Amino acid sequence: MKKILTGVKPTGDQMHLGNLLGAVLPFKRLAEKNDAAIFIADLHALTSVKNAADLKRNTHEMALTYFSIFGIDTPVHIFRQSDIPLIPKLNWILNNVTPYSLMLRAHSFKDALQKQKILEKSLFPKIVFDMEKKCLKAGISDKAIIFEKTQEAYDNLYGNAPNLNMWIFNYPILMAADILAYDTDIVPVGADQKQHLEMTRDIAKAFNKTYKTDIFKLPSEYIEKDVSILPGIDGRKMSKSYDNFIGIFDDDKTLKKKVMSIVTDSKGFDDIKDPETCNVFALIKTFATPDRTESIRAKYLVPGYGYGHAKLELLEILTEYLRPYHDARAMLEKHPELIEQKLQEGARIMNERIEAKMEEVKEVVGL
Ligand code: ADP
| Least reliable range by pLDDT among 14-18, 41-45, 105-109, 311-315 | 105-109
Residues with CB under 6 A from ligand 1: 18-19, 21-23, 190, 224, 227, 229-230, 237-241
Neighbours of 157 (CB within 10 A): 15
C-beta separation of 124 from 151 below 8 A: no
CA-232 nearest atom, ligand 1: 23
Mutation choice for ligand 1 from 8, 14, 15, 19, CB with most ligand atoms inside 8 A: 19
H or E stretch at 323: helix 307-334
Average pLDDT over residues 263-282: 94
C-beta separation of 37 from 4 below 8 A: yes
**Residue 223 Cα to ligand 1 middle (Å):** 12
CATH class, range 252-332: mainly alpha
pLDDT band for position 357 (50/70/90)?
very high
Q: What pairing do the DSSP bridges indicate for beta strands 186-188 and 220-222?
A: parallel
Residue whose Cα lies nearest atom 15 of ligand 1: it is 22
Task: Give start-end residues of each CATH 1.10.240.10 domain in the chain.
Answer: 252-332
The separation between the first and the last C-alpha atoms of the chain, rounded to the nearest angstrom, is 32
Average pLDDT over residues 203-207: 98
Residue whose Cα lies nearest atom 22 of ligand 1: it is 18
Task: Give start-end residues of each CATH 3.40.50.620 domain in the chain.
Answer: 3-103+168-228+336-365
Torsion of CA 60, 62, 63, 65, to 10 degrees: 120
CA-16 nearest atom, ligand 1: 3
On the 0-12 / 13-18 / 19+ scale of CB atoms within 10 A, 342 is buried
Q: 7-28, pLDDT tens digit by residue?
A: 999 999 999 999 999 999 999 9
pLDDT computed for residue 158 by the predictor? 60
DSSP string, 25-63: HHHHHHHHTSEEEEEE-HHHHTTT---HHHHHHHHHHHH
Residue whose Cα lies nearest atom 2 of ligand 1: it is 239
pLDDT band for position 120 (50/70/90)?
low
Average pLDDT over residues 178-205: 96
pLDDT computed for residue 128 by the predictor? 83
C-beta separation of 135 from 146 below 8 A: yes
C-beta separation of 330 from 338 below 8 A: no
pLDDT computed for residue 121 by the predictor? 66
Average pLDDT over residues 319-335: 98
CATH of domain 3-103+168-228+336-365: 3.40.50.620
Dist. CA 362–CA 365, nearest whole Å? 5
pLDDT computed for residue 122 by the predictor? 67
